[in-house]
Every structure is written in structure tokens, then in C-alpha cells.
Amino acid sequence: MSLKEKIEKIDSEIENGMKFKASDRLRNLIQENPNETQLWNKLAELYYESGFLDSAGKYWILTEPTDERITKCVDIYEKSVNYSGYQILQEIVFRGDKSKLSEFAQNKLTELEVDSKKKADYVPKFSPKKNKRKNKNSEDKQTFKDKLGEWIIFGVVATIFILIVIGLITTIKWIF
């Protein structure tokens, strides 16, 4: 299923009142596609409409505040974590490529990292999550039929080997 189809499914769930399920799907999509800021904004919008302003701020933190509600939500979120760059980095867990983000988002991440280093003397590093489904080579994928075929071949070879050994033993007994 393509990203566009997944977003359409999420929109459908939101329209049908399944906001919790939609938010779960969006969080999973963000983990799979961390550089897709539209997903971050969609989840922030969902939280905002549901009244969870601090959660909306968490997902709007890398968005340039073009609207007062974005600024308000980000301020509420930052206040809820005591303006801790370390805590924010731990919670947003950005696993994407910073260079693919907007200039504002890059600057915000850098600012959070500097604050984390200054206050906690540690900057959390998150390596990109590898999507197992996308990264597997075709030769790594084995279906049940492939595995069954291997076991049948192994069984036939083992049976032939056993029969040869039995034949040799019988032949030796006949000779002696």
C-alpha cells in the first residue's frame, strides 16, 4: 500500500470517528517516513482538533509557526517538558535525515541538541530505523513452498545416503 493510500485510509478513519486508530497509524507512518512533515502536521492537527494541545505542539515543534495556534501549542508542549531540549529529543525521536527537512526544522533540531548538550551533557542520537519489508532482497524472502522444497530435497538426499550406508553394511556382511 502506498503512502497516499495509507493517508486516505487514515482520513477515512478520522471521518468515521476512529481518531485513536488514526493517530496510531499516523505515529507508525511517522516512524517509517520521518522526513514526511505532512504526516507530522496531520497528527498535530488531529491532536489539536481533539483538544490535546501539548501533543499537537509535540508534532508541530519542527513546523514553522505560521499560525498563532501552532505557536500556542508548541509553547504549551515546551512548558510541559520544562523547556528541556533533551526531553523533547527523547519524545519526538527523529530518525530521519535532517538535511531533508526545512531550514526551520533543521535549526530547531540543532537548537534542541545544543540545549540538551548544555543542560544534560548528552545528545540523544537516533539511527534511522530500517524498514525490514523494504530492505529485504528478493533472495532473502522465502515462502513456505521454498522452505518445503528445501526440506523435501534434504529428505531425499538423506534417505539416499542412509540407503547407501545400509547397502554397504549388507554387502560387507555377505562377503564375510
Angle, vertex CA 140, rays to CA 134 and CA 146, nearest 5? 125
- Digit-coded pLDDT (tens) for 149-164: 899 999 999 999 999 9
Name the 3-class secondary structure at 127.
coil
Alpha carbon distances (Å) from 3 to 38, 43, 63: 11, 15, 21
pLDDT at residue 21 is higher than 90: yes
At 32-64, the pLDDT tens digits run 888 888 999 999 999 999 999 999 999 999 999
- Alpha-carbon distance of 87 to 120, in angstroms, equals 10
Confidence (pLDDT) at 154 = 93
Classify residue 39 by its DSSP letter: H
Separation between Cα atoms, residue 58 and residue 46, nearest integer Å: 12
Place of cell 554387502: 171
Query: What pLDDT, on the 0 to 100 scale, is given for residue 128?
Result: 66
Cβ atoms 106, 142 nearer than 8 A:
no
Residue type at 64 in one-letter notation: E
What pLDDT score does 135 carry?
47
In angstroms and rounded to an integer, the radius of gyration of the C-alpha atoms of the chain is 28
pLDDT band at 17 (very low <50, low <70, confident <90, very high): very high
**Of 13, 63, 68, the residue nearest 39 (C-alpha):** 63
Q: What confidence score (pLDDT) does residue 131 get?
A: 55
Pairwise CA distance, residues 128 & 171, whole Å: 63
pLDDT in tens, 89-146: 989 888 888 888 889 988 998 999 998 888 888 887 776 666 555 544 444 567 888 8
